[in-house]
Amino acid sequence: MTKKPKAASVKSKSKINAAERMLNLLALLSVRSQPLTLKQIRAELLNQYSEDGDAARAQFERDKSDLRNLGIPIDMITLGGAQAGETAYRVNRNNYELTDMGFTDDELQALQIAAATVRLGAQEGEQALWKLGAERVNPKLGPRASIGFADPHLGTILHAIGKRAPLTFLYKGETRSVDTYGMLARKGFWYLVGFDHLRKAQRVFRVDRIESSVSVGKAKSYDMPKNVDIVKSVPTERQMMAAGDYEHSTAQVRVHASLARIGARDFGAAAAVREEADGAVVFEIPCSNGYAFRLWLFAMMDKAEVVGPPDVRELVVRWLDEIAERA
């Protein structure tokens, strides 16, 4: 009787971008005063690592290696007592963070352009910008945003998630009491997922839009639902851009040849309207949510141009005029 080969791994419930998972890991380890074991990390970064132990360990080792390659040291501590022999991990932010250099927005933008124009070799330019707090500009990687790990609410929220403690804060002018399920970094922002007692339903909150201090309730006040999926709960960029009430639901955007594959990746090959002689591609892009559309469009810098409808193009021109006036 021949044995069936053992499956190499069990896939997690939903896929998460490896870079997002790595950033979530860094945020978790950098705000905790006590080191965490891999078991604790998997419990707090819910559904972000595989359910299979071996596969999860492999993913964690890759994330750990990538962070170290970025110059972020991860300390390994052998625990004692009831956890004797287990390995735990922590990140001391003082070992990798630079002090505030005091750069203005214009100075950071100049650094971005300089790094994009003059290659500093391999990844050094990107790493330097990342450590200085600027966005990465690299056509091969597409538009990326730096994630702030010093948000005043981040440590409090992560602590509450680990303790299963509810949070209370002011959001959009209303007091919210939220059973915290998890957090996710996506497209430059932190999102909190939890059960909102005011709305009596699961909701997603953008952490930087919390309007007050965050108070923490009693630990072990609620149970984590079995079917909660943090990754699927936070809308993707395409979903955010399509969720709005602007009279035009889509815009035609001409994307430079160097970033055409980014457009196809983000919006699908079916979104391509036509390919032009110079390799540029015109995409049908959701724009109902003007704020999300603007973030995506301006992250492309001079590599994307709205060509229609005329109303959307005129709106973008007004945005650019306003920016020029403030500058």
Domains in the chain, CATH or no CATH each: 18-93 (1.10.10.10), 154-234 (2.30.30), 239-326 (no CATH)
Per-residue pLDDT reduced to its tens digit, 144-179: 334 444 567 887 888 888 788 999 999 989 999 999
Q: What is the largest CA-CA distance in the chain?
A: 78
Is pLDDT of 131 > 80? Answer: no
Per-residue pLDDT reduced to its tens digit, 74-92: 888 888 777 877 889 988 8
Highest mean pLDDT: which of 84-88, 91-95, 106-110, 212-216? 212-216
At 133, the pLDDT band (50, 70, 90 cuts) reads very low
User: 308 φ, ψ to 5°?
Assistant: 175, 165
- Flag the least confident range among 155-164, 191-200, 203-212, 303-312: 155-164
Is pLDDT of 47 > 60? Answer: yes
What pLDDT does 142 receive? Answer: 38
Average pLDDT, the chain: 76
What pLDDT does 256 receive? Answer: 92
Q: Using a cut of 0.75, tell me whether the model's pTM lies above it.
A: no
In 3-state terms, what secondary structure has residue 258?
helix
User: 289 φ, ψ to 5°?
Assistant: -90, 100
Contact yes or no for 158/167 (Cβ under 8 A): no
Is pLDDT of 275 > 60? Answer: yes
What is the number of H-type helices and E-type strands within the chain? 11, 12
Provide the CB-side half-sphere exposure for 215 (13 A, CA).
8
Using CA atoms, how far residue 212 sits from 107, 167, 208, in Å, is 30, 12, 10
**Host H or E run for residue 169:** strand 167-171
Write out the E strands in 187-315.
189-196, 201-206, 215-216, 250-255, 272-275, 281-286, 304-308
Contact yes or no for 163/219 (Cβ under 8 A): yes
What pLDDT does 100 receive? Answer: 58
- Flag the least confident range among 54-63, 98-107, 161-170, 198-207: 98-107
Structure letter (DSSP) for residue 34: S
What pLDDT does 65 receive? Answer: 86
Using CA atoms, how far residue 141 sits from 135, 144, 192, in Å, is 12, 8, 27
Is pLDDT of 280 > 90? Answer: yes
- Flag the least confident range among 60-69, 126-135, 201-210: 126-135
Contact yes or no for 272/293 (Cβ under 8 A): no
Q: Where are the alpha helices (DSSP H) in the chain?
A: 18-31, 38-44, 53-69, 105-117, 124-132, 154-163, 230-233, 237-242, 260-267, 290-299, 310-326
What pLDDT does 156 receive? Answer: 86
What pLDDT does 320 receive? Answer: 85
Contact yes or no for 55/9 (Cβ under 8 A): yes
Angle at which helices 310-326 and 290-299 cross, to 10°: 70
Is pLDDT of 129 > 50? Answer: no
Q: Find the distance separating the first CA and the last CA of the chain, reported in whole Å.
A: 76
Torsion on CA atoms 49, 27, 41, 123, rounded to nearest 10: 50
